[in-house]
């Protein structure tokens, strides 16, 4: 657990939960009640709130202990209940997180929530700092004993009080990492008049592992604070604003900021430098779900997911490397069906018996695939003719992308079905998470299996903002790893809720890999996770740099599955520059020089073909097959790369 907690502070985006008090108030708990006492008197109510936030996608949940220090509890005559309330709060949150980890294989963490004492230090008299530190130490020690993973010192109104809380944490729980969050005014200054930048500097000097801002008057003010903090520190920054300023509606304080608005600010927080995002007063599981979705879409956009016509997959920037597993948390059963229904799960038939491609992969035979992109209209005669040409020359399978680069095209499933029925060659269906929620994913997968489509390449998908319809809504309920989990469960005859579906879908499960991605460590970790959840072979993005491929293959030796290398025959210098600059494919300068030296169009095509053939020859002994793209529908060019024929249609 310790190493996992440390990774939370390494720069990836972390989604926290929202308001506890708001949710308890909505359950009918009077505002003048001691909410910390509910950990003992109504634990199921507290547990339900935690579960709702986890299901909404939160990775870090806070204990219901915001006011569980001796000074605040004394106002309710409960000053002697500090240890009891904090232990109970930690236990409830721990149970919820452990259940997520066990049932859904998704990482989640417990943050011990420590709020302000409710009195200024000067109001405590001459012993103010010492008394404050003692009160914090008492609470923090109980939280540590209760098994929290980290501490969130939140809604701090003065730098002096925050210092005492941090010193107390270092004194009694030095093993726990600490994030310190201040509440600020409309000018983004702490409530004692200190600048948020100075507060952050002082917390960093005392050893805080993260700093930030929570509560305050709403997301716009917190965004301003994040920008000021980022200018003075490289620590992870936490942004957890209120859902705006509350308004009194029929005697109740109502927060009117919508989940969609909070979702838009989640992206802004990350762009401004925040690593952790979540919500405070007025935020609900719906707000966190919207933030979750916004971060997923942003991650896919940043990564240029499946940018090369869907042939390969760049690892998304975090929501994170952890997001892949975490995404499934919002949907009970996703990726964890067999964990809860082992008695119902039945192993699928061997890979070699599921499809011809499955047999070739299982037998270790060198596999050849060519990619055919669906048309933009309803006429697919050209694509069918291309598939027939490729089948004639002995290509093993046709890869069909799913609206690559977020373009509006004929459905990949339709073209796959027509190719198999009219041509007879097997297809590999690229299946993305962009346009379907988990219900749609399951429905489409069941339909594909019933139609005889047996090979699935699991991809997150390009976000709409990359395409011609940037305002289209993206879904991204899960990403490629969550999708692979779903497919694997369907293969084991279980639906997303762990219920038996009768027969197995019998899919071969392919995933994408990008040996040339900038952060290769993250890509390798994601690849390992894909293998863990059921991936059986992988297809890479186009490879132009053999050294990068060799490095990637060495890095995955401990969890190696058959790898199919992507090959792209360049057609011009402009094509090469587009691959490098727009699709973020690693392109050695030597290849750019070779393409630039071609005197005319035909010479450029010939040079691109030569490069592709050289790459195929170089990788032949390193991988178990190749997938060749056919740029601009030049299917005959693909056969030439494979050494199967001459230039065709």
pLDDT category at 465 given cuts 50, 70, 90 is low
Inter-helix orientation angle 259-272/219-230, to 10°: 10
Is residue 505 domain-shared with residue 585, that is, in the same domain? yes
- Percent of the chain with pLDDT strictly greater than 70: 87
Helix (H) or strand (E) holding 51: helix 43-55
Is residue 356 domain-shared with residue 418, that is, in the same domain? yes
- pLDDT, position 70: 95
- Is the residue at 313 inside a domain? no
Question: Residue 425: helix, strand or coil by DSSP?
Answer: coil
Is residue 369 domain-shared with residue 242, that is, in the same domain? no
Is residue 212 domain-shared with residue 360, that is, in the same domain? no
Q: What is the CATH number of the domain that holds 192?
A: 3.20.20.330
- Is the residue at 506 inside a domain? yes
- Is the residue at 288 inside a domain? no
Q: Which residue has the higher pLDDT, 468 or 536?
A: 536
- pLDDT, position 316: 35
Q: Is the pLDDT of residue 30 over 80?
A: yes
pLDDT category at 310 given cuts 50, 70, 90 is very low
**Residue 527: CB partners within 8 Å, gap ≥ 6?**
511, 513, 538, 556, 559
What average pLDDT does the structure give for the chain? 87
- pLDDT, position 13: 92
Q: Is the pLDDT of residue 50 over 90?
A: yes
CA geometry: angle at 418 spanning 412 and 419, to 5°? 85
Mark which of 278, 312, 338 sits at the end of a domain: 278
Is residue 194 domain-shared with residue 339, that is, in the same domain? no
**Can you say whether the dihedral through the CA atoms of 171, 173, 175, 181 is positive or negative?**
negative
Summarised one tens digit per residue, pLDDT across range 347-386 is: 899 999 999 999 999 999 999 999 999 998 999 999 999 9
- pLDDT, position 326: 39
β-pair partners for 432? 459
- Give the separation between CA 345 and CA 163, rounded to whole angstroms: 53
Task: Determine contact, residues 20/123, Cβ cutoff 8 Å.
Answer: no
CA distances from 642 to 355, 409, 467, 576, 630 (A): 22, 27, 31, 20, 12
Burial class, 350, CB count within 10 angstroms (exposed 0-12 / middle 13-18 / buried 19+): exposed
Mean pLDDT, residues 2-28 taken together: 89
Q: Is the pLDDT of residue 47 over 60?
A: yes
- Give the separation between CA 290 and CA 270, rounded to whole angstroms: 15
- pLDDT, position 312: 35
Other Cβ atoms less than 10 A from the Cβ of 127: the count is 11
- Is the residue at 312 inside a domain? no
Residue 412's nearest CA partner among 442, 385, 447, 437 is 447
- Is the residue at 366 inside a domain? yes
- Is the residue at 287 inside a domain? no
Mark which of 253, 278, 303 sits at the end of a domain: 278
Q: Is the pLDDT of residue 219 over 50?
A: yes
Indicate the Cα dihedral angle 370, 374, 378, 381, nearest 10°: -10
Q: Is the pLDDT of residue 314 over 50?
A: no
Is residue 259 domain-shared with residue 346, that is, in the same domain? no
- Give the separation between CA 478 and CA 485, rounded to whole angstroms: 10
- Give the separation between CA 106 and CA 101, rounded to whole angstroms: 5
Is residue 517 domain-shared with residue 635, that is, in the same domain? yes
Mark which of 278, 296, 315 sits at the end of a domain: 278
Q: In the chain, how many domains are there?
A: 2
Mean pLDDT, residues 181-191 taken together: 92
Q: What is the CATH number of the domain that holds 524?
A: 3.20.20.220
- Give the separation between CA 231 and CA 207, rounded to whole angstroms: 18
pLDDT category at 309 given cuts 50, 70, 90 is very low
Q: Is the pLDDT of residue 573 over 60?
A: yes
Which of the residue ranges 266-275, 336-345, 372-381, 428-437 would you say has the lowest mean pLDDT?
A: 336-345
Is residue 265 domain-shared with residue 342, that is, in the same domain? no
Is residue 382 domain-shared with residue 516, that is, in the same domain? yes
- No. of helices (H) and no. of strands (E), the chain: 25, 18
Beta strand 60-62 with 109-114: parallel, antiparallel or unpaired?
parallel
Summarised one tens digit per residue, pLDDT across range 426-461 is: 999 999 988 888 899 999 999 999 999 999 999 988
- Give the separation between CA 286 and CA 55, rounded to whole angstroms: 10
Domain membership of residue 124 as a residue range: 2-278
- Is the residue at 291 inside a domain? no
- Give the separation between CA 396 and CA 425, rounded to whole angstroms: 7
Is residue 182 domain-shared with residue 124, that is, in the same domain? yes
Summarised one tens digit per residue, pLDDT across range 253-263 is: 666 678 888 99
- Is the residue at 79 inside a domain? yes
pTM: predicted TM-score of the whole model, two decimal places: 0.60
What is the chain's alpha carbon radius of gyration, rounded to the nearest angstrom? 27
Is residue 147 domain-shared with residue 248, that is, in the same domain? yes
Is residue 407 domain-shared with residue 264, that is, in the same domain? no
- Percent of the chain with pLDDT strictly greater than 90: 68
């Amino acid at each position: 657990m310790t190493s996992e907690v440390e990774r939370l502070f390494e720069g990836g985006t972390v989604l926290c939960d929202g308001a506890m008090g708001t949710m308890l108030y909505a359950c009918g708990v009077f505002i003048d009640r001691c909410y910390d006492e509910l950990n003992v008197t109504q634990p199921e109510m507290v547990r339900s709130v935690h579960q709702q936030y986890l299901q909404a996608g939160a990775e870090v949940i806070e204990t219901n202990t915001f006011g569980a220090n001796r000074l605040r509890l004394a106002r309710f005559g409960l000053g002697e209940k500090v240890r009891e309330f904090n232990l109970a709060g930690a236990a409830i949150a721990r149970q919820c997180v452990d259940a997520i980890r066990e049932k859904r294989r998704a990482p989640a963490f417990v943050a011990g929530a420590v709020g302000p004492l409710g009195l200024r230090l000067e109001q405590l008299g001459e012993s103010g700092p010492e008394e404050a530190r003692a009160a914090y130490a008492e609470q923090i020690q109980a939280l540590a004993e209760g098994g929290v993973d980290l501490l969130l010192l939140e809604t701090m109104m003065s730098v002096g009080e925050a210092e005492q809380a941090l010193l107390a944490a270092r004194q009694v729980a030095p093993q726990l990492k600490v994030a310190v969050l201040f509440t600020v005014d409309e000018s983004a200054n702490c409530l004692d008049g200190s600048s948020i930048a100075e507060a952050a500097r002082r917390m960093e000097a005392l050893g805080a592992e993260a700093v930030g801002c929570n509560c305050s008057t709403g997301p716009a003010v917190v965004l301003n604070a994040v920008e000021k903090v980022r200018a003075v520190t490289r620590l992870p920054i936490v942004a957890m604003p209120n859902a705006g300023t509350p308004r009194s509606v029929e005697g109740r304080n109502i927060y009117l900021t919508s989940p969609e608005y909070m979702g838009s600010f989640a992206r802004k927080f990350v762009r401004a430098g925040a690593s952790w995002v979540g919500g405070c007063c007025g935020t609900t599981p719906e707000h966190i779900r919207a933030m979750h979705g916004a971060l997923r879409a942003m991650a896919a956009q940043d990564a240029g997911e499946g940018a090369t016509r869907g042939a390969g997959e760049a690892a998304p920037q975090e929501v994170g490397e952890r997001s892949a597993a975490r995404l499934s948390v919002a949907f009970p059963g996703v990726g964890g069906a067999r964990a809860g229904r082992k008695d119902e799960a039945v192993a699928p038939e061997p890979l070699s018996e599921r499809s011809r491609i499955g047999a070739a992969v299982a037998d270790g035979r060198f596999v050849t695939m060519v990619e055919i992109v669906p048309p933009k209209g309803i006429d697919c005669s050209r694509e069918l003719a291309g598939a027939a040409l490729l089948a004639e020359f002995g290509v093993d399978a046709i890869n069909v992308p799913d609206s690559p680069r977020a373009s509006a095209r004929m459905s990949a499933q339709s073209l796959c079905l027509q190719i198999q029925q009219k041509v007879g060659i097997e297809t590999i269906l690229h299946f993305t998470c962009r346009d379907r929620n988990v219900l749609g994913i399951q429905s489409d997968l069941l339909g594909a299996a019933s139609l005889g489509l047996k090979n699935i390449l699991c991809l997150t998908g390009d976000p709409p903002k990359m395409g011609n319809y940037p305002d289209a809504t993206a879904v991204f309920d899960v990403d490629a790893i969550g999708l692979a989990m779903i497919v694997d469960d369907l293969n084991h005859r279980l639906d997303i809720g762990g219920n038996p579906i009768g027969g197995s879908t019998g899919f071969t499960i392919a995933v994408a890999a990008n040996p040339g991605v900038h952060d290769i460590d993250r890509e390798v970790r994601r690849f390992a996770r894909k293998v863990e959840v059921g991936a059986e072979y992988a297809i890479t993005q186009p490879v132009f740099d053999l050294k990068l491929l060799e490095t990637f293959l060495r890095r995955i030796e401990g969890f190696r599955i058959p790898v199919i290398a992507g090959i792209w025959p360049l057609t011009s210098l402009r094509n090469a520059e587009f691959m490098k600059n727009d699709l973020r494919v690693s392109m050695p300068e030597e290849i750019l020089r070779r393409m630039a030296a071609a005197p005319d169009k035909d010479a450029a095509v010939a040079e691109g073909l030569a490069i592709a053939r050289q790459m195929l020859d170089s990788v032949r002994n390193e991988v178990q097959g190749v997938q060749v793209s056919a740029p601009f529908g030049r299917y005959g060019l693909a056969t030439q790369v494979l050494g199967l024929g001459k230039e065709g249609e």
